[in-house]
Structure 1
Amino acid sequence: MIQPHRDIENWTLTTPAARSSRGAVASQHRLAAQAGAAQLDAGGNAIDAIVATAYALNAVEPWMSGLGGAGFMVIWLAKEQRAVALDFQGTLPDDMRLEDYPVDPALPATPMGFPGVVDNANTEGYRSITVPGAVAGLDHALSRFGSRSRSDVMTPAIQLAERGLHVDWFTSLQIGVCARTLARDPISASIYLPGGHPATPESRLRIPNLAETLGEIAEGGAETFYSGALTERIVSDLQAGGSRISRADLAAYEVFEYAPMAAEHRGYTLYTPGEVSGGLRQREMLAYALEAMPTPPENPTAETWLAYAEALEQCWKRHKVRNGVITEQGACTSSMSSVDAEGNMVALTYTLLNRFGSGVTLPSTGMLMNDSVSYFDPRPGYPTTMEGGKRINSSNMCPTVAVKDDEARFSVGASGGNLIMPAVTQVAALMMDFDMSVEDAIHHPRIDASYRGSVRVDPRFSPETLAKLGQRFELEIAQQVVFPKLYACVSAVSRNPTTGECVGINDPTQPVGGGAAPAPFHIEPLDDDEPVVRP
């Protein structure tokens, strides 16, 4: 039995939930959730709320997601009683060349399990960037299913970007973890490493041109980003840094809208983006668990957690057989959920891939860019080999909307690479198998299993559960901590169709995360004495 993280921090992590009959939003940053909830307060719907939340994260959590990223969204449309999935994953440039990524045997494998290449070109810097799909995906969702104007929805994000990024201890931690990568890029270094060191708490960072870029998108939408004036500056910066992304690559980008994958479990239908996400593994895990536990006990038992662990091991084994070496690690990405009074519900997960992505901030736009080239193999002859125009087609992201009796009951998603699907599916299973509230399910101890030779277990589990799991698996006894996040970072909302109460909550390990109820958006003024770091 391995005990690498047992009881090393002397506190109990809890987080409050937001409640309202008018809807709720949950996000990895409270201000972003409040930006989304303000759309509900102004008469908007859950789609307006999720888009506002996603854009606001550019200004308050830039290291996880943003304009330079990509992802998935699942939407439940209450009046139509149907679910929709959006795939806005990144694509490789048409002029992709394997010779730009020579394998370096002296380097460790990348977080995706592929060989390292010379100068880390597939994980850091301009050559690691794919065509970003975030703006296309968010604009598609808003124009197709939203109810408010783009300008109204994006105003909070612009206000936050104009104010600048308030640095707290958690922000300093994120910067410090990635200081080496950020130091490679002059613009990123000037923003996040003032004086050559990670920005310190109680300072404020100004990200040059970000507010202006958000304003241009608010006015011109995806068109200006992919085939307009903004395109020219994006491509000019990219190519000056060595990227092969062209204007034609941006112009050719498209969002995929489709019927999501459905999984049935105890009267619920769970909708996910399907096989290109963690959705297939989720469906398989629930099927294994249902077979092992046809009738659940009143409360989870040691046998319950053994069934869940074995189900996770089995679905991950099948996944690794299907996909080979893709083993995305880390605790990056941003996930958010929203629900409105009408019962519309959304789960959105999008990402720069690794924390701070490529480490590149484009000088003309203030956009922090992804490093999603690392989703692909630099060696020839594999299904995942880098190839011009190829789209990211395998991800751990697993935004989920659960529907019962034609009513959306909850949506849940998470950040955390390989940790995502196990955490999302456990929260969902606890709510479906044991009728737990979303608040209780989020706070319940978790396991993490992905067919890697051991199972990670929270020491808050009962001695009986630990003993039962230890009879079957080698255990890593690992406390839930703020960093590293060992059980993912979950965001979720729920709605009771009988009472109309909506609840929003973020993972207790995320000190800046939270849920928000509808209210006008208001930014607290910052102290005039607070130092502003300007590149």
Structure 2
Amino acid sequence: MDRSVVEQARHEYWDRRKRPAVSDKGVVTSQHFAATQAGIAVLEEGGNAVDAAVTTALTLQTAEPWMSGLGACGYMLVVEPDGSVECIEFTGRLPAKMDMDVYAEKGDGSAYFNGNAISKNDANVRGFLSVAIPGCVRGFSAALDRHGTIPFARALRPALDRARAGMEVDWHTSLTIALGQPEMRRDTGMQAIFQPDGKIPWPGMRLAMPQLAQTLERLTEVGPEDFYTGQIARDLVADLQENGNGITLEDLADYQPLIYDAIPFDFAGHVIHTPGHTSGGHRLRAALGMFEERHGAGPDGPEFFAQMARALREAYAGDKPLAPPAETDAKGSTTQINAVDATGRMVAITFTLFNRFGAYALSPRTGVLLNNGMAWYDPRPGRAASMIPKAYAHSNMCPVAITGAGRSHAVLGASGGNMIVPALAQIVALHLSAGLDVEDALMRPRMDAGAGPGIIANVDMSDAEIAALEEIAPVRPAQAEVMHRPFASPAMIGRRAEAFVGMPDISYPAAHAAALERNA
């Protein structure tokens, strides 16, 4: 491809860089600096990486509420200093009883970006009908009980303080709300919070969150079980059922996160760990296995990316049980948190409302922004992701842990729907096979391949790298930018000699990595 054609995909000229956080005491990364700082404060108080990661995750609902919150679902990997890795899976779940007439296939052949059929009236995509049982409150509570040192109330404190003060609006918040304005106006609760007076908020304004603040205060006083069996549960179910959703109090009480040893596989002299079969881990393992067989250790460059593209395309093509995904996810809402403490305990959390602003439905009694997790399921029977009562959701999320020599080595993850696994596969291989430092691996321009028929190449890749990709499939050049996002948004913490180094996503404006007692 001629460089002049590649440059036509460039919209601007400026360097996107993020400062790495380096320390032998502890590091936290997230997609918003306020949440990262909340996690670091926990480490400063003597908490561990699990305490810091959960606090960071809970704080994000007051900084980027379109990404996550109490209504979200996801995965958490906890890596002990000795290299053992546990997964806490708190994905969405279906209720015990469902009216399949409500969720019947639309019948026009339309499919969601993940390949699932869309229900009639978009019932599994948008609005109260699209809400699945959320898992993050019990998931994070279980993590603190099993591995943490602080109570749930302490982890909630920064989120509660920020909800009471109201969320400060920056330019990216204004843009995100503007993009969701049409859908938001269908829900009076959402419009009241995010479009006061019916207008898109300007940077510098504060958005009041009184109902959410009350819910967070009750969770602080009564405990996380209230979300599933107490007054919050009753309020949440009342809001859902008044708007047609069949989730019951029994469904909430019955929800439990899944806790198990993460799935290990060998790669480049290390062990890679992923969540179980509902995650994108099976695709990642397949892609890295084929890449190592064909390329092995060696520098990044044209051959590196060509073999990685082939491996990713074959991994997606061979994934027969799941529906074939569309090329990109333009409305995803996933977020990534990583943490490490002085002992080498590491944590990676990937969780989400699924779409940006989830279901575009806000529980008026609780102030909780709800997920549209029903879109993780297919209304057609006989599929891996079919709508079966009490089924846990399949997704592209895939936090990753790397261990070796009897200790933790790195954690990473990404947001970006179908683009998550391709990004993580490249970063793992850049770090372990090509020998790039964490900072260099995250800064390296890369491509996206696997989910769609072609390959998307970053305009900052070399001409030789793009030419090598063109021999495999049609290539579309794209620039990494804030909006829209043609590539995933990864973050990583790993080792640099005897210290830890953390890198946030370099394209997300507020993303930040912070260190405890940062060293040079």
Q: Which category of TM-score, normalised to the shorter sequence, fits these structures?
A: over 0.9
Residue 322 of structure 2 aligns with an amino acid whose one-letter code is N
Aligned residue number for residue 509 of structure 1: 507
CA contact (8 A) 1:336 1:349 kept: yes
Tell me how far apart the structure 2 counterparts of residues 382 and 106 of structure 1 sit (CA, whole Å). Answer: 19
Q: Does 1:37 align with 2:35?
A: no
Tell me how far apart the structure 2 counterparts of residues 295 and 424 of structure 1 sit (CA, whole Å). Answer: 17
Q: Does 1:23 align with 2:26?
A: yes
Per-residue Cα deviation, 1:297-337 (whole angstroms, up to 9, x for no partner): xx312111111111111111112x22124557234211111
Residue 61 of structure 2 aligns with an amino acid whose one-letter code is N
Tell me how far apart the structure 1 counterparts of residues 8 and 116 of structure 2 sit (CA, whole Å). Answer: 28
Tell me how far apart the structure 2 counterparts of residues 408 and 5 of structure 1 sit (CA, whole Å). Answer: 43
Aligned-CA RMSD value: 1.9
Answer with 103-112 or 85-94: which moved more. 103-112
Per-residue Cα deviation, 1:171-214 (whole angstroms, up to 9, x for no partner): 11211222222111110011112233322222111122212212
Residue 448 of structure 1 aligns with an amino acid whose one-letter code is D
Q: Does 1:53 align with 2:56?
A: yes
Residue 364 of structure 1 aligns with an amino acid whose one-letter code is R
Cα 1:47–1:124 change in 2 (3 A) is same
Cα 1:52–1:483 change in 2 (3 A) is same
**Secondary structure of the structure 2 residue equivalent to 1:151:** helix
Tell me how far apart the structure 2 counterparts of residues 384 and 424 of structure 1 sit (CA, whole Å). Answer: 23
Cα 1:4–1:255 change in 2 (3 A) is farther
Aligned residue number for residue 456 of structure 1: 456
Aligned residue number for residue 530 of structure 1: none
Tell me how far apart the structure 1 counterparts of residues 201 and 351 of structure 2 sit (CA, whole Å). Answer: 25
CA contact (8 A) 1:9 1:481 kept: no
Tell me how far apart the structure 2 counterparts of residues 101 and 189 of structure 1 sit (CA, whole Å). Answer: 26
Cα 1:380–1:265 change in 2 (3 A) is closer
Answer with 244-253 or 227-236: which moved more. 227-236
Per-residue Cα deviation, 1:37-68 (whole angstroms, up to 9, x for no partner): 11111111000011001100111111011100
Aligned residue number for residue 524 of structure 1: none
Per-residue Cα deviation, 1:221-247 (whole angstroms, up to 9, x for no partner): 331111122211111111122211100
Q: Does 1:225 align with 2:227?
A: yes
CA contact (8 A) 2:78 2:347 kept: yes
**Secondary structure of the structure 1 residue equivalent to 2:225:** helix
Superposed counterparts of 1:285-296, under 5 Å? 285-296=287-298
**Secondary structure of the structure 2 residue equivalent to 1:98:** coil
Per-residue Cα deviation, 1:61-83 (whole angstroms, up to 9, x for no partner): 1101110011001111115x411
Aligned residue number for residue 523 of structure 1: none
Task: Say which of 77, 81, 85 aligns to 1:83.
Answer: 85
**Secondary structure of the structure 2 residue equivalent to 1:99:** coil
Superposed counterparts of 1:231-270, under 5 Å? 231-270=233-272
Cα 1:275–1:103 change in 2 (3 A) is closer
Aligned residue number for residue 322 of structure 1: 321
Aligned residue number for residue 309 of structure 1: 309
Tell me how far apart the structure 2 counterparts of residues 473 and 107 of structure 1 sit (CA, whole Å). Answer: 26
Residue 376 of structure 2 aligns with an amino acid whose one-letter code is Y
Tell me how far apart the structure 2 counterparts of residues 427 and 95 of structure 1 sit (CA, whole Å). Answer: 42
Q: Does 1:342 align with 2:343?
A: yes
Residue 356 of structure 1 aligns with an amino acid whose one-letter code is F
CA contact (8 A) 2:348 2:413 kept: yes
Residue 174 of structure 1 aligns with an amino acid whose one-letter code is T
Cα 1:55–1:504 change in 2 (3 A) is same
Superposed counterparts of 1:302-451, under 5 Å? 302-319=302-319, 321-327=320-326, 329-330=329-330, 331-392=332-393, 394-451=394-451
Answer with 108-117 or 264-273: which moved more. 108-117
Tell me how far apart the structure 1 counterparts of residues 196 and 451 of structure 2 sit (CA, whole Å). Answer: 42
CA contact (8 A) 2:410 2:492 kept: yes
Per-residue Cα deviation, 1:142-168 (whole angstroms, up to 9, x for no partner): 111001222222211111111211111
Residue 518 of structure 1 aligns with an amino acid whose one-letter code is L
CA contact (8 A) 1:139 1:221 kept: no
Report the alpha carbon displacement of residue 451 of structure 1 after superposing the two structures with TM: 4.5
Cα 1:220–1:519 change in 2 (3 A) is farther
Task: Say which of 160, 163, 177 aligns to 1:161.
Answer: 163
In structure 1, list runs of 5 or more residues that go unmatched.
521-535
Aligned residue number for residue 528 of structure 1: none
Cα 1:161–1:270 change in 2 (3 A) is same
CA contact (8 A) 1:276 1:395 kept: yes
Per-residue Cα deviation, 1:238-288 (whole angstroms, up to 9, x for no partner): 112221110000010011110111121111111110321111111111111
Report the alpha carbon displacement of residue 216 of structure 1 after superposing the two structures with TM: 2.1
Aligned residue number for residue 482 of structure 2: 482
Superposed counterparts of 1:151-230, under 5 Å? 151-230=153-232
Residue 510 of structure 2 aligns with an amino acid whose one-letter code is V
Residue 77 of structure 1 aligns with an amino acid whose one-letter code is E
How many residues are treated as equivalent by the alignment?
513
Answer with 362-371 or 375-384: which moved more. 375-384
**Secondary structure of the structure 1 residue equivalent to 2:403:** strand
Report the alpha carbon displacement of residue 383 of structure 1 after superposing the two structures with TM: 4.2
CA contact (8 A) 1:458 1:478 kept: yes
Report the alpha carbon displacement of residue 381 of structure 1 after superposing the two structures with TM: 4.6
Answer with 272-281 or 111-120: which moved more. 111-120
Answer with 128-137 or 429-438: which moved more. 429-438
Report the alpha carbon displacement of residue 102 of structure 1 after superposing the two structures with TM: 3.9
Answer with 108-117 or 332-341: which moved more. 108-117
Aligned residue number for residue 529 of structure 1: none
Report the alpha carbon displacement of residue 484 of structure 1 after superposing the two structures with TM: 1.2
Report the alpha carbon displacement of residue 405 of structure 1 after superposing the two structures with TM: 0.8
Tell me how far apart the structure 1 counterparts of residues 386 and 316 of structure 2 sit (CA, whole Å). Answer: 22
In structure 2, list runs of 5 or more residues that go unmatched.
none
Per-residue Cα deviation, 1:374-409 (whole angstroms, up to 9, x for no partner): 1112234544332322221x2110101111112212
Cα 1:389–1:4 change in 2 (3 A) is farther
**Secondary structure of the structure 2 residue equivalent to 1:350:** strand
Tell me how far apart the structure 1 counterparts of residues 7 and 162 of structure 2 sit (CA, whole Å). Answer: 39
Provide the TM-score with structure 1 as the length reference. 0.92
Tell me how far apart the structure 2 counterparts of residues 277 and 410 of structure 1 sit (CA, whole Å). Answer: 19
Tell me how far apart the structure 1 counterparts of residues 8 and 36 of structure 2 sit (CA, whole Å). Answer: 31
Tell me how far apart the structure 2 counterparts of residues 455 and 166 of structure 1 sit (CA, whole Å). Answer: 38
Tell me how far apart the structure 2 counterparts of residues 46 and 252 of structure 1 sit (CA, whole Å). Answer: 29
Cα 1:382–1:263 change in 2 (3 A) is closer
CA contact (8 A) 2:114 2:418 kept: no
Cα 1:382–1:271 change in 2 (3 A) is closer
